[in-house]
Structure 1
């Protein structure tokens, strides 16, 4: 009898513990706020990890407002720097990415692989007429797949050649408008002690790719490149090889310093804003850092925003690199579809507006914008964009994942001794021309 009592007691204890664990599990999924409402936690990921990045600050401010207006939603944010972020996102979505509800990513070719794998939530059911009316026409091209809209825009970017006029004056160089003038300027800038003519940041593949893509834009032209990136034309023609040769020529001149593959994006930005580099080819978002980074030692008023130098007799001066491609997306596997979709739409609009008002990017929303605090450098870029016609997105966001990776890796080979342009072209053709 005693044994039976002990056995029943043990079973009761196990049952009690099991119930407690189940109950705890449910409480971890949803909590209750002070008004007695169920609250959900959205895990949101983005790649603005550097505290000096104005976009990180703008995002944090927008989240504070959202949580205040939506007391039933808690935003749990995680960040990594760009290259590590891309790797982590790919690894997460190889599975269900269960720890991600909303995440920052790039549209066009990059998001296509996630759409094809049925990893993303289409937002059409959450795009009200009010929301649609605010979206700038033509700004969603990179977010639509098979007539379904998977995200909405934040802001567009414009590839800019930033020049430190002080260093140009010291070297007796002219701000270049053509490639020949760029070569002449590099030659003179090389005479300045401790100054790199062009901060490349080539340790990060996308930085190296920016320089190649800028030259390819002028050699090949936006129309032909867009046809290639969309799969309607092959990667072929002398222009692509000529652009690669020009990168090699600049490297051999010492345009990027002795070891450009040892410095990444943050290093290159720092070199420019500390007066150790005369030129930085970067997206328009860099204009804000020039004015706001507390570590900057240069006079921002002496920084000039320029178009990518033209190559005489080739391309079109009105072509540019840039456009709408960055956005927040929703994991189809999220437990909180409605809350995640609503936050994604909200944060894209708020970041688009905030980015423009702080001189970081060009808003994708038809909303009231305060231009009173735009920095002079961003206003210069705005003028350059106004004179531009056809844009080309960054290649690694337009191409599918594998050719995009090969492109970035192959471009890096041009920033080293014994670069092989023929091998560079062959690798691109094998990856793209399928």
Structure 2
């Protein structure tokens, strides 16, 4: 396994200073018979988000440098790809290149199933192994068991991400709330909103956001060794230990106190975000992938962000990865497209659109809010504070956590019972791996 501590400092530098390899403009010609070649591309980034803007520009650059080739882009939902990837990639409907979630339970599982192309040779040939720091490469490599951090390259990350607290500055000012710098100040702020009849946190229990709050609460009692044990199987995890017990108890308590709405158990991520954009909630806890969209769509109030107060660890990692399905019919074109997304032109656009680039020119990032975003990411990476995501350890674990956190929010099961239920599939996966 890669030692994350030794690479963390390098990640902060790599996020802004490393240069990208050039795009593969190899004079592609139309296929035999004069028919144009088609690159079938799937991703799930919104058009107004930073990655959506960057990948749209990458498509234009790809087509201009590859005469006779067109890109057939199909937008897919995160949940759609999450639930159907194994089935689709094992069929003739597989795309040539696809954005996919990184981690043991997702990219690792597909690599173990033989559904992804081994990119190790291309990583060396095209310089991706030099471009990406060791810490970023953690989510690109998977061993024979599908465990991230070592083995062959099965994906290429091209941006960074982390979970933060977004806040509505106007609602904070209206309610006399200042930006908290400690966890006690944070809970005091939540309490002040709740007592004023305002539900403070916009979240989504039906998808990933609520489980990120659950994980942040666990991380407030955790250290790096605990994260390595939980995510990388370097030790045993006690689901009734102080970390998860505190998370489950506190989340249930926050619902009772009105910090989180009980009906948020059925809310999806998109509805969570649109509610925040509409000014209905003072706080939203989620990832940097919303940042660019908020820059574009929030017009009626001032907003900002801060790291979860008091924590030494936060959910985050490299961003989602480009994978090339084993059944891809245009692998050479897929590799060229990855090169283009790594080019300075596209990375600079990503950075100035509210994303966290891995190969931009630092001087080229001129947008003030984008600088704030990247600065906070660098604070996390420079101190080895990225703790991945809670659903990564085991196949199917995403749905397990969704159900568990929903039970905490709607109160249908007590915290101890929820912890029993999320422990079982994790323990079963360890047994399957021979751990």
Shorter-chain TM-score: what band? Answer: 0.7 to 0.9
- CA contact under 8 A between 1:67 and 1:75: conserved in structure 2? yes
* Aligned partner (choices 284, 287, 292) of residue 296 of structure 2: 292
- What per-residue deviation string (whole Å, max 9, x for no partner) do you get for residues 352-404 of structure 1? 4432232222x223x5355443233x3333333333322111122x2222233
Change (3 A) 1:91 1:356: same
- CA contact under 8 A between 2:29 and 2:69: conserved in structure 1? no
Q: Distance in 2 between matches of 1:63 and 1:288?
A: 19
1:82 paired residue number: 78
CA displacement at 1:266 relative to structure 2: 1.6
- CA contact under 8 A between 2:53 and 2:353: conserved in structure 1? no
1:231 paired residue number: 233
Q: Within 5 Å, which residues of 2 pair with 1:60-99?
A: 60-93=56-89, 95-99=90-94
Q: Distance in 1 between matches of 2:215 and 2:270?
A: 20
Q: Distance in 1 between matches of 2:284 and 2:262?
A: 16
1:354 paired residue number: 349
* Aligned partner (choices 328, 333, 342) of residue 336 of structure 2: 342
Q: Distance in 2 between matches of 1:183 and 1:306?
A: 15
- CA contact under 8 A between 2:230 and 2:393: conserved in structure 1? no
- CA contact under 8 A between 1:271 and 1:277: conserved in structure 2? yes
Q: Counterpart of 1:41 in 2: which secondary structure?
A: strand
Query: TM-score if structure 1 supplies the norm length?
Result: 0.81
CA displacement at 1:192 relative to structure 2: 4.3
Find the structure with the greater CA-based Rg: 1
- CA contact under 8 A between 2:354 and 2:373: conserved in structure 1? no
Q: Distance in 1 between matches of 2:330 and 2:291?
A: 37
CA displacement at 1:234 relative to structure 2: 2.8
- CA contact under 8 A between 2:262 and 2:409: conserved in structure 1? no
* Aligned partner (choices 119, 124, 129) of residue 123 of structure 1: 119
2:24 paired residue number: none
* Aligned partner (choices 182, 188, 193) of residue 186 of structure 2: 182
- Long gaps (5+) in structure 1: 1-30, 311-316
1:113 aligns with 2:106: no
1:201 paired residue number: 204
- CA contact under 8 A between 2:38 and 2:70: conserved in structure 1? yes
1:16 paired residue number: none
Q: Distance in 2 between matches of 1:400 and 1:97?
A: 27
1:213 paired residue number: 215
Q: Distance in 2 between matches of 1:159 and 1:174?
A: 20
CA displacement at 1:141 relative to structure 2: 1.1
2:260 paired residue number: 256
Q: Distance in 2 between matches of 1:153 and 1:129?
A: 14
CA displacement at 1:113 relative to structure 2: 0.8
- CA contact under 8 A between 1:143 and 1:151: conserved in structure 2? yes
CA displacement at 1:170 relative to structure 2: 1.8
- What per-residue deviation string (whole Å, max 9, x for no partner) do you get for residues 42-97 of structure 1? 2111112x44434223212210110111013221111122212312323313x335
CA displacement at 1:176 relative to structure 2: 2.3
- Long gaps (5+) in structure 2: 1-27, 144-150, 431-435
Q: Distance in 2 between matches of 1:278 and 1:223?
A: 34
Q: Within 5 Å, which residues of 2 pair with 1:24-423?
A: 33=30, 39-48=36-45, 50-93=46-89, 95-109=90-104, 110-127=106-123, 128=125, 130-146=127-143, 147-192=151-196, 195-204=198-207, 206-236=208-238, 237-293=241-297, 296-299=299-302, 303-310=303-310, 317-347=311-341, 349=343, 352-361=347-356, 363-365=357-359, 367-369=360-362, 371-376=364-369, 378-388=370-380, 389-390=383-384, 391-396=386-391, 398-423=392-417
Q: Distance in 2 between matches of 1:409 and 1:113?
A: 21
- CA contact under 8 A between 1:143 and 1:325: conserved in structure 2? no
Change (3 A) 1:223 1:375: farther
Change (3 A) 1:129 1:58: closer
Q: Distance in 2 between matches of 1:175 and 1:421?
A: 30
Q: Distance in 1 between matches of 2:117 and 2:353?
A: 30
Change (3 A) 1:181 1:333: same
CA displacement at 1:104 relative to structure 2: 0.6
Change (3 A) 1:132 1:36: farther
Q: Counterpart of 2:114 in 1: which secondary structure?
A: coil
Work out the number of aligned pairs and report it: 386
CA displacement at 1:258 relative to structure 2: 4.4
CA displacement at 1:34 relative to structure 2: 11
Which deviates more from structure 2 when the two are superposed, residues 68-77 or residues 380-389?
380-389
Q: Counterpart of 2:315 in 1: which secondary structure?
A: strand
Q: Distance in 1 between matches of 2:77 and 2:257?
A: 31
State the Cα RMSD in Å.
2.6
